[in-house]
Amino acid sequence: MAAERKTKLSKNLLRMKFMQRGLDSETKKQLEEEEKKIIGEEHWYLDLPALTEKESFIIEEQSFLLCEDLLYGRMSFRGFNPEVEKLMLQMNAKNKAEVVEDKTEEVDVSDEEMARRYETLVGTIGKKFAKKRDRASYEEDENGDVKLIKAKKMFLKPHD
Amino acid sequence: MLAPAMAEVVAVAAESLAGSRARAARTVLNQVVLPGEELLLPEQEDAEGPGGGGERPLRLNAGARSRVRVVCGPGLRRCGDRLLVTKCGRLRHKEPGSGSGGGVYWVDSQQKRYVPVKGDHVIGIVTAKSGDIFKVDVGGSEPASLSYLAFEGATKRNRPNVQVGDLIYGQFVVANKDMEPEMVCIDSCGRANGMGVIGHDGLLFKVTLGLIRKLLAPDCEIIQEVGKLYPLEIVFGMNGRIWVKAKTIQQTLILANILEACEHMTTDQRKQIFSRLAES
C-alpha cells in the first residue's frame, strides 16, 4: 500500500540539512538559486548607484614571512634531539622546495618478520572464533605462538 | 649597527626635507628611510616629470591593467598610490619568485618590543589556566589565548599536559589591533610540526627582533659555527625570545652569552671567540 503512492515531502523538509547530504552538486546549486530568488524579492535594498571600489594594487602585510626566507625556528645540532633534526630537514626542504637527496625508505619491519607475525596471528585470531570445545586444541609453542595442534573434529562420512 | 649610518641619515634627511618630493622606491633601495617619506612605485615614475605636477599622461591602453600587485611589508603603509614609510630603517625589496608580479618592499628596522602578527611562530609562557583556554604571555600588549584543543591529538577527554609556567612554541591565527591575539600549536592539517610544549630545563632569554631575523636567515654563519661546538638545541621565537639547552649548565650559559653578544660583534671578534671556545 505504501508503494502505490509516493509520499510527498514538503519543501521545508527537503531544504533541511540531512536531506541535502545525498544530493549531487547540480541539484544543490539549483536549490540554492531558487532560495536566493525567494529571498531576493523580500529583502530590502538601497536604491543608490553602485559604488565602484577603487582597485588597489598595493597589498599591506605586516608579516616578515613574506619578505625574508626564514628558516624553521626549532634547531638541534649534533644529535641532541633527533626528532627536531628530522623536523628541520622536513621544514627547510619545504621552504626551499628542494628534492631531498638521501631519501632512504626506512622499512620499520622486515618482510620476513611480517610473514612470521601473520603466521602466528592466524592462530590467535582463530582461537577467538573457535568453539569452546575446540579451544583446548590450541596450544602455545616454545616461542609463545599460539598454534593449532591437532585437527579439528570434522564430520566423518560413514563408510556404508 | 646603525652608527655608521647616522652620517648617511643626516645627509639624506637634509636632502629630502629640502626637496619634499616623493622619491622613487627603486632609487632608495638599501638606504635609510625616515618615517613620513613617500615612495613612488616603478610604474609611477614616468608620470612624475621635472615639474612634478602629478598628472598622469593619457595612455592608449587605459583600460588594460598595466599595474602589478605590490606587497608593502612591515614598516610601510599604503597612501593612495604610494608607499608611506612608518619606521626608520633600510628599505629592502624582494623580486617575486614566480607567478604574480610586483615583489615585496619592506623596511629593515630594529626594535625590542614585539607586536603580534598572524602566522608568526613565537615562544610564550603560560600564565593562567581558565576553563578551556590558557593565557600565554608572548611579550605583546595583552596575553594571547590558547585553547586546550589546539594541540595535536587533544580531545575533550584527552587534555594536553600543560601547566602554568610552561613554555609553549606556537603560531598566531588571529593577531590584529582590535582583538585579543589567539595562538595554536597545530597547523592547518592538524599536525604539530614541532609546536607545543617545549621540554624541561634549558634557558629562555630575550634579544632584539632584528637579531632573530638575522640568525634565522638561510645563510647565517653564526648558527653554523654554533652548531659545531657541542650538541645543543635552540628554539627561536619571532617575539625576541630564544630558548637554548645543552648537556651541562655551563654550556647552556656560554651559548646564551654568545647569542646575546653576537649582535654587537664584528665578524673577526666572533671568529676569535669561537676559536677560543673550540680550544677549551
Higher pLDDT, A152 or A158: A158
Please report residues of B whose CB lies closer than 8 A to that of A66.
71, 73, 104
Q: Closest residue of B to A92, CA-based?
A: B218
Q: Closest residue of B to A56, CA-based?
A: B81
B85 interface with A at CB cutoff 8 Å: no
Q: Are B122 and B242 in contact (CB under 8 A)?
A: no
Q: Is A47 exposed, middle or buried (0-12, 13-18, 19+ CB in 10 A)?
A: exposed
Please report residues of A whose CB lies closer than 8 A to that of B67.
57
The number of C-beta contacts closer than 8 angstroms across A and B is 119
Q: Which residues of A touch B (CB under 8 A)?
A: 56-81, 84, 87, 91, 96
Best-predicted range by mean pLDDT among A130-139, B62-71, B226-235? B226-235
Q: Which of B232, B241, B274 has the most A C-beta neighbours within 10 Å, making it the best mutation to test the interface with A? A: B232
CB–CB of A63 and B117 under 8 A?
yes
CB–CB of B70 and A69 under 8 A?
no
DSSP state of B45: T
CB–CB of A66 and B68 under 8 A?
no
Considering only A65-69, B83-87, B215-219, which range has the smallest mean pLDDT? A65-69
| Amino acid in the structure at residue B271 | K
Per-position DSSP letters for B122-133, written without gaps between them: EEEEEEEEETTE
Query: Which cell numbers hold the place of B277?
Result: 671556545
Cα separation, B225 vs B86, in Å, equals: 36
Mapped onto helix, strand or coil, the DSSP state of residue B182 is: strand
Q: Closest residue of A to B239, CA-based?
A: A73
Which pLDDT band holds residue B117 (cuts at 50, 70, 90)? very high
- Start-to-end Cα distance in chain A: 56
Query: What is the bridge-based pairing of β-strands B167-174 and B182-184?
Result: antiparallel
Query: What is the bridge-based pairing of β-strands B89-94 and B32-33?
Result: antiparallel
CA distance B41 to chain A (A): 10
Q: What per-residue confidence (pLDDT) applies to B150?
A: 92
pTM (predicted TM-score)? 0.67
* Cα angle for residues B172, B114, A67 (degrees, 5° grid): 70
Q: CA of B243: how far to CAs of A119, B40, B141, B256, in Å?
A: 50, 41, 21, 9
3-state helix, strand, coil in chain B (%, to 5): 20, 30, 50
Cα separation, B223 vs A77, in Å, equals: 10
Q: Closest residue of B to A62, CA-based?
A: B74
Query: What is the bridge-based pairing of β-strands B38-40 and B133-137?
Result: unpaired
Widest CA span in chain A: 102
Asked whether the predicted pLDDT for residue B163 surpasses 80, the reply is yes
Higher pLDDT, A92 or B61: A92
Considering only A42-51, B207-216, B237-246, which range has the smallest mean pLDDT? A42-51
Q: Closest residue of A to B209, CA-based?
A: A64
ipTM confidence: 0.75
Q: Is B137 exposed, middle or buried (0-12, 13-18, 19+ CB in 10 A)?
A: middle
Higher pLDDT, B2 or B185: B185
Cα separation, B212 vs B217, in Å, equals: 9
CB–CB of B121 and A73 under 8 A?
yes
Q: What per-residue confidence (pLDDT) applies to B102?
A: 66
Cα separation, A116 vs A134, in Å, equals: 24
Q: What per-residue confidence (pLDDT) applies to A144?
A: 62
Q: Are B272 and B258 in contact (CB under 8 A)?
A: no
CB–CB of B234 and A74 under 8 A?
yes
CA distance B245 to chain A (A): 9
CA distance B182 to chain A (A): 16
Q: Which residues of B250-261 are buried (b: 16+ CB within 10 A; e: fewer)?
A: ebbebbbebbee
Q: What mean pLDDT do residues B158-181 have?
A: 93
The partner residue sitting opposite B77, judged by closest CB among A60, A73, A79, is A60
Query: What is the bridge-based pairing of β-strands B144-147 and B182-184?
Result: parallel
Mapped onto helix, strand or coil, the DSSP state of residue B229 is: coil
Which pLDDT band holds residue B98 (cuts at 50, 70, 90)? low
Which pLDDT band holds residue A131 (cuts at 50, 70, 90)? confident
Please report residues of B whose CB lies closer than 8 A to that of A72.
194
